[in-house]
Every structure is written in structure tokens, then in C-alpha cells.
Amino acid sequence: MCGRYTLHHSTQEVAERFGVEQALLSLKPRYNVAPSQQVPVITQEREFGLRYLEGYQWGLVPFWAKDASVGQRLINARAETADERPAFKWAIGRRRCIIPADGFYEWKREEKERIPVYFSRPEGELFGLAGLWEEWKRPDGSVLHSCAIMTTVANGLVDPVCTRMPVILRPQDEAAWLDPRNQNVPELMRLLRPYPEDEMEAWLVSQHVNSPFFDDPSCAEPIKDRQETLNWIAASAALLKKQNRLPKRRCVRRDHVVPGGQVFFQTKSFTRSDGTRWHPIVDIESGPVFCDCPDFHFRHARHEPDIFTPQFWCKHVARAVENCRRHGEI
């Protein structure tokens, strides 16, 4: 995901870089832009194609929302599913924008610590983040303009730190993304791809950036040599690759025997890369499976019953059961 970024270029520099005809706000250097704040957004007018630089709230509030608080959860839109989700599918066809930036932060989790890493283009060059915008009418009749940043799978530089990254548009793709007359969604979705890792830089930064209230140039200053940071990222990538190759730890215990002699087992065979665990419960006698896997419920709860026969096992449960049987634990 993208939860913080920087923009320390001037209004004139942003206007020249993105061809803005009318700037409706004056920019000041910002080194820790956070959700719920007013952020600079570039939009394009439909009739004459004029580009505007305006201030929108970061956290998209769909036009149909009953409450503006929904924007707190919609700071990012996943490129893979944005054209399907109700909150974004209208905007991706008609209300696209560019959020100017010159760097962004991601955090690497190591045990109980979150280590901030700053990513940017060489020499701190300006770039455009793909975004969506909406307008929502408040109860008093005023209009709230809000936006969300598109994210995609991380490239090789960002992936050891975070599996997602913001969509950085190539300069040649910016016109197609901004043009509101372009409603070819499949073509637009192809623009939302990871930025080349060899055109980016990264370095470790201070923990000061962890606080959204701290906005100072020291947020983006390196605390270690850039080459040392790259070595650390490479080591993290190697460790992650090694962990993904290791066999999953299996721990099966008998939970209880229900009336009728049906024996239930609970397995903790699977731990996702983000640390989320799920605990499928398998009825060996008659076959129904109960699974509290978040992905399982999210994908199937609206379409399938809560009790699954072997024909409808989710892949996580099926793998867990197969592992247990292979090792003689069931």
C-alpha cells in the first residue's frame, strides 16, 4: 500500500512538469504527506482539456456514501480489482487524476519493529501517481472532493520491504490516464503496472516519519549510506525467498469428539506471508470443512454455504488436509 509520500517541489515546477494551465493552490514543501490531509491533485477538464492543480482530501468518499468517514479506509485502490469494486468502478472510467510526488515511504516489518524506507526517482525527480477522485455532497450542501492512490504489485526493489507499491505512471501514459473522454477501462488498466526498479532509488530513513504530525526535511534524509540500504534490501529479499521455500510447520491436535463419534482436528499448517493465520477444522468422518481463513470468507461467503463438503474445499484447507495426511497426522 501507499500511506505516506513527499512533495517538496514548487507550484511552478509541478505546473511545468504536468502541463497545468490553472493552479488553484500554492504548494509548500511537504516531507510526510499522510491520509486524511489535503493533497495536491491534477485533474483534466472534459470539454477543453484544461488541467487544474487543486487540493483534495486523501481518502476517497464515493458519491453514494452515507458518511464521509468511509474515506478513512479508502486511501488506496488496488489496480487489479478497482474496476470491480463499487467504491472505484465509477471513478476509474470517468474521474481519474494524477497525484504529483517526488518520493514515497514503505515500512519493513522486522519482529516488533517497523523500519521506514524511502523510495524515489534518481535526483529526486517529480513523478505522477495514478489516482481516482470523487465528489461527495455534505448534508449542508457543500461538496467534498477526495482522492485515492492506485497501487500495484511491488517491483524487485520495493518487494522485500512491502508487497505493494503506488502506481507511478510513465510520462507517455499520463495524458491517456488524465483524459476524462477516454473510457476504455481495459486499456487504462494496462497502464497500472509496476515501475522499473532500475529507475528508482531507496534508502533507510528516520523513525520520525512514523508520526503523521512530523513534517520536516529530516523525514526523507538517509540515515545509512544508499549502497548499504540496497545491500540490506537484497539481504531481506534473499531471506524472504528462503522462507518461502521452507516447509510449513505442521501442528495437529485432537480438539474434541462430538456425540456420534465424529472426530474433529484443528490444524495450524498455514501462515501467510503477512502473518495472518487461519485454522481450518476438518470433520474426518463426514467431510464438512469449517474455515476461518479471511480470504476464504471474503471470496466465498456470499456465494457458498458456511459448511463445505470436500467438493467445495478452499485451496488453503485442501492443502492443509493433504499435508496432514501425507505425514500420517490424520
Locate the DSSP E strands across the chain.
4-7, 22-23, 30-33, 38-44, 51-58, 76-78, 96-101, 103-110, 113-120, 127-137, 143-153, 164-166, 168-169, 201-204, 252-258, 262-267, 281-283, 289-290
Select which of 106, 147, 293, 314 is catalytic.
Answer: 106
| Torsion angles phi and psi, residue 31, rounded to 5 | -120, 5
Rounded CA separation 133/98 (Å): 9
Exposed/middle/buried for residue 115 (C-beta within 10 Å: 0-12, 13-18, 19+): middle
- 324 annotated active-site: no
Residue with C-alpha cell 485502490? 77
Select which of 2, 162, 219, 314 is catalytic.
Answer: 2
Cβ atoms of 200 and 121 closer than 8 Å = yes
Rounded CA separation 104/247 (Å): 34
Cβ atoms of 126 and 143 closer than 8 Å = no
- 2 annotated active-site: yes
Rounded CA separation 233/159 (Å): 9
Catalytic annotation, residues: 2, 106
